[in-house]
Structure 1
Amino acid sequence: MNWYFFVAESLVGWYASEASLQWALNAYNVAIAATLLVGVALGDRFGRRRVYNLGILVFTLGSVFCALANRMPLLIVARVIAGIGASVMTPMSMAILTAAVPVAKRGKALGIWSGIGGLALIVGPALGGLIVAKLTWQWIFWINVPLGLIVIGLSRFYLPESTGVATPINLTDAGLSMLAMTAIIWALAASSTSINGLGPFVGLIIGLVAGTWFIKRQQHVVAPLMPLTLFKKRIFTMGNVATFLLYAAMYGVVFFLPQFLQVVQHDNAWEAGLSLLPWTGTLVLVAPFAGKAVDLYGEAIVAVIGKAAGIYNVFRLLGGAAGTAIAVVVFTVSSRVPAMNAIGFQTVMFSTALISAIGAGCAWQIRNSKNL
């Protein structure tokens, strides 16, 4: 996500509207949210590696369309295509990993997986800033093409195929989940850019109604997209709440920190990317140890279900959208001027720190929970 901000910075003069520019970024998350649970169900039914490779292929094609886009509407559509492909990449990779690793070592394996994935957070800011500074913004997307093709080729040789319970996908449930997630994520994102607050409010109501209907149906259908029985386990519920808060805090920081470095500190894209490294690099150092601790305390049991990975990503996306919206509102209220400034930035950082502290409290509840 970090390097896409540098793309946004370089497009300001070309695309004019900052609101439409933000939607070029938001379209990606909305597409992921809309198709996530359906994509996980398809992986369980038709093969996780197969759906994983299909997702990478769609994401790669979306990246090509992004690089070729010469108008804002085309870029937004291309981002939607890339988001649809990306919606299955993370949950499928988690499901493939947990199916291939013994139960006793899954926590450690997921920790290593998170650490390796965190390399993107380290490389992303610096590499994205360097590419934008030295080349053109289109190369941010062109670089995904060879990487995507290499990953597809390697996965066919080295990743085992696995499936879940091959249950039929209920179209009503799929439609309701897509409508609920799209409307809620859109409303949260639009709340920070819309002049008229009625649109986001209506979108939020539509999303909540669709989400409530979806949850009601999950209590009675034979093969639910989101098994509500998982939430009977306190560790699972609190874990997803902690995930929501983590990404709410992180997205708030990610949205404003590069702006502060470039607008207030007057760093160029390359310097701003390097300045983010001490923050993003901690994930790689901490994740493997956290995963080993999960195995030690026996709290990795719930993470083995593919659908559980999908639910985790739902909370991750909701948290990111909510965190960005909250950060923008906090900045607008606290800042004396609409442009980026130190006072507004500091207030946003305090608010994200508070969200992080609440998330840490949820994590502590998980550690002390006996209802596994």
Structure 2
Amino acid sequence: MDKKAAPAATTPAQRWVLGLSALASFVVVLDMLVVATALSAIQHDLGASLEDLEWTVNAYTLSFAVLLMTGSALGDRYGRRRLFAIGLGLFAAASAACALSTHVGALVAARAVQGAGAALIMPVALGLLNGAFPPERRGWATGIYGSVTGLAAIVGPILGGVVTEHLAWQWIFWLNVPITLIAIPLVLGRIAEAHGPGGTLDLPGLALAAAAALGITWALVRGNTAGWSSAETVSTLAGGLVLGVLLVVRELRARAPMLPMRLFRSSAFSAGNAVVFFLNGSLTSAIFFTAQFHQVALGHGPVAAGLRLLPWGIAPFLIAPRAGALTDRIGERSLILIGTLLLALGMGWIALISEPGIGYVTTAVAMAVGGIGFSLALPAVTKAVVSRVAPQDIGRASGTFSTSRQLGGAFGIALTGAAFAAAGGYATARQFSDGYIVAMSVSATLAFAAAVAGIVLPRHRRPTPATADRRPAPVAAQTD
């Protein structure tokens, strides 16, 4: 069993898919976080208001979450490799536009286009990855993929601080351009084309999915600013939910649905999407506030604050590949439950001990516990969602999974932000610490909610050789 899980067993084609998918994921996730430590410099150079700064982050998140299902469907229809390359090109062009922006409106618009490029990249990359590996190897592959993605989440604040302090904020966007331009010919030359199910593109389904995601995500990211009971928040949230219901009705009746509702009859698919929603909400919100806690409450600079987040990044980088292989042996449910409970423990521990002037060692241990938990859970939940679906549904399952993950991140920041605002503020270190404690308590609750959702997942059953032989062929075999 161990020999089968060894990296040496991979083919050159599989290694290219894994490497390029992980690289693309690294760049996309890095760009979601690298801006955080450059906001003050952007505000100074462009004369941006606080709301303008919020939109430099929210514009990316909104277009990313809204267009994920569209990117997945287009990849199924026109070819995942083709859409992968187009997404990389769009991301490179938008990154250059961000760097060249001379006023905040242009920067926000370019960030929205960046999010659209990311929405093309992520679901098709995950679809290619899961199609390239057979079911018994996907845990190991998604573990490698997850470790690289997790590393990006922690390198982002550090890199943003270093670049902003020693170069200029524009360079956080210029760095994307050569990486993506080098990746495009490698994608076209080293990855075989793969498609999802053929047929007519479900344009009404795509429109309803995008509009529903836009309404819900808009309400989440604007709730704290506009007010949770404001007409803007209530109307956009209600509109998004209504459109979501209409999407379900449409997909149940469509001859060639964009998102077959039969997928949700699988407890692994439904529960897995719920797990990643709460899991990403917990970690994203924790990183968002912890980076600020080290600066506002503890008085560190951007680079020092970013470096102090390393315990969250080191664990995914070291553990996720092994966790993925372990998933293949003992099953997703056990690792998800262990991982989410460890994450909840780590977040709750931080909430209990945080105060102005706290020593770093104790905080680092608590962060490491949470990071280990996330590293165990993410590869397992990724496999739970995408590895049990039929080959022709992998792209749609990947798109749904990615959308759930991004919506979870927006929800986590919105929920913890409301809790922070009710309990604290930015005026003094003590006020920030008071709000941070409550925010981290909410983050721990989100991790615990992920554990509750994970209970629904099916128990692991080791496949027999006979059943293994009847597994569907990987999508990568469906090439031009």
For Structure 1 versus Structure 2, the TM-score category normalised by the shorter chain is: over 0.9
The residue that corresponds to 1:125 in the other structure is 157
The residue that corresponds to 2:109 in the other structure is 77
The residue that corresponds to 2:397 in the other structure is 308
More moved, 305-314 vs 250-259: 250-259
- How far apart are residue 170 of structure 1 and its match? 2.2
Equivalent residue in structure 1 for 2:413, among 324, 330, 334: 324
Does 2:354 correspond to 1:265?
no
Residue identity opposite 1:366 in structure 2: L
Cα distance in 2 between the residues matched to 1:284 and 1:118:
6
Cα distance in 2 between the residues matched to 1:119 and 1:280:
5
Does 2:445 correspond to 1:354?
yes
More moved, 210-219 vs 330-339: 330-339
Equivalent residue in structure 1 for 2:76, among 38, 44, 47: 44
Q: 1:271 to 1:171 in 2, by over 3 A?
A: same
The residue that corresponds to 1:12 in the other structure is 43
Q: For 1:179-220, what per-residue CA distance to the aligned partner results, in whole angstroms no more than 9, with x for missing partners?
A: 111111011100012258211111111111111101111111
Equivalent residue in structure 2 for 1:165, among 194, 197, 202: 197
The residue that corresponds to 1:335 in the other structure is 424
Give secondary structure in 2 for the equivalent of 1:321.
helix
Cα distance in 1 between the residues matched to 2:119 and 2:57:
15
Percent identity of equivalent pairs: 35
- How far apart are residue 267 of structure 1 and its match? 1.3
Q: 1:90 to 1:238 in 2, by over 3 A?
A: same
Does 2:370 correspond to 1:284?
no
Equivalent residue in structure 2 for 1:218, among 251, 254, 257: 251
Cα distance in 2 between the residues matched to 1:66 and 1:16:
15
Cα distance in 1 between the residues matched to 2:326 and 2:457:
13
Cα distance in 1 between the residues matched to 2:396 and 2:164:
38
Residue identity opposite 1:5 in structure 2: A
Residue identity opposite 1:302 in structure 2: R
Give secondary structure in 2 for the equivalent of 1:191.
helix
Equivalent residue in structure 1 for 2:90, among 34, 58, 63: 58
Q: For 1:227-264, what per-residue CA distance to the aligned partner results, in whole angstroms no more than 9, with x for missing partners?
A: 21111111111111110001111221122111111222
Cα distance in 2 between the residues matched to 1:297 and 1:230:
24
Task: Report matched runs for 1:118-197 at 5 Å.
Answer: 118-194=150-226, 197=230
Q: 1:136 to 1:337 in 2, by over 3 A?
A: closer
The residue that corresponds to 2:337 in the other structure is none
Q: Which runs of 5 or more residues in structure 1 are unaligned?
A: none
Residue identity opposite 1:344 in structure 2: G
Q: For 1:95-149, what per-residue CA distance to the aligned partner results, in whole angstroms no more than 9, with x for missing partners?
A: 1112222222112111111112223224322222110111111000000000110
Residue identity opposite 2:388 in structure 1: V
Cα distance in 1 between the residues matched to 2:323 and 2:243:
36
Residue identity opposite 2:173 in structure 1: F
Cα distance in 2 between the residues matched to 1:18 and 1:337:
13
Q: Which runs of 5 or more residues in structure 2 are unaligned?
A: 1-31, 333-382, 464-480
The structure, 1 or 2, with the larger RCO (C-alpha pairs under 8 Å, 6+ apart) is: 1
Count of residues paired in the alignment? 371
Is the contact between residue 98 and residue 106 of structure 1 (CA under 8 Å) also seen in structure 2? yes
Q: 1:285 to 1:61 in 2, by over 3 A?
A: same
Q: TM-score, normalised by structure 2?
A: 0.74
- How far apart are residue 337 of structure 1 and its match? 6.2
Task: Report matched runs for 1:246-265 at 5 Å.
Answer: 246-265=279-298
